[in-house]
Structure 1
Amino acid sequence: MARPGLCPRANLEVLRTEPRRIPMLAKVFPIKLKDGNQAAAEAIVQEFAPKGPGAEEGTLSFRVYRDPSNPDYLLFVEHFADQAAYDAHTGSAAYEELIAGRFADLIVEFVEVDHELLVSL
Structure 2
Amino acid sequence: MLAKVFPIKLKSGMQAEAEAVVLDFAPKGPALEDGTLSFRVYRDPANPDYLLFVEHFADQAAYDAHTGSEVYRELIAGRFADLIVEFVELDHELLVSH
What is the TM-score with the length of structure 2 in the denominator?
A: 1.00
Which one has the largest radius of gyration?
1
Return the letter of the residue paired with 1:72: D
Question: Can you give the 5+ residue segments of structure 1 that lack an aligned partner in the other structure?
Answer: 1-23
Q: Flag as ranges the 4+ runs of structure 1 deviating above 2 A.
A: none
Counterparts of 1:64 and 1:111, CA distance in 2:
14
For residues 38-74 of structure 1, the C-alpha deviation after alignment (integer angstroms, 9 at most, x for no partner) is 0000000000000010010000000000000000000
Query: Corresponding residue for 2:67?
Result: 90
Question: Can you give the 5+ residue segments of structure 2 that lack an aligned partner in the other structure?
Answer: none
Relative contact order (alpha carbons < 8 A, sep ≥ 6): 1 or 2 greater?
A: 2
Structure 1 or 2: larger strand share? 2
| Residue 51 (str. 1) matches residue 60 (str. 2) | no
Q: Give the aligned length.
A: 98
State the superposition RMSD in angstroms. Answer: 0.2
Counterparts of 1:93 and 1:82, CA distance in 2:
20
Query: Corresponding residue for 1:105?
Result: 82
- Aligned pairs (5 A) from 1:1-121: 24-121=1-98
Percent identity of the aligned residues?
Answer: 85
Counterparts of 1:117 and 1:66, CA distance in 2:
23
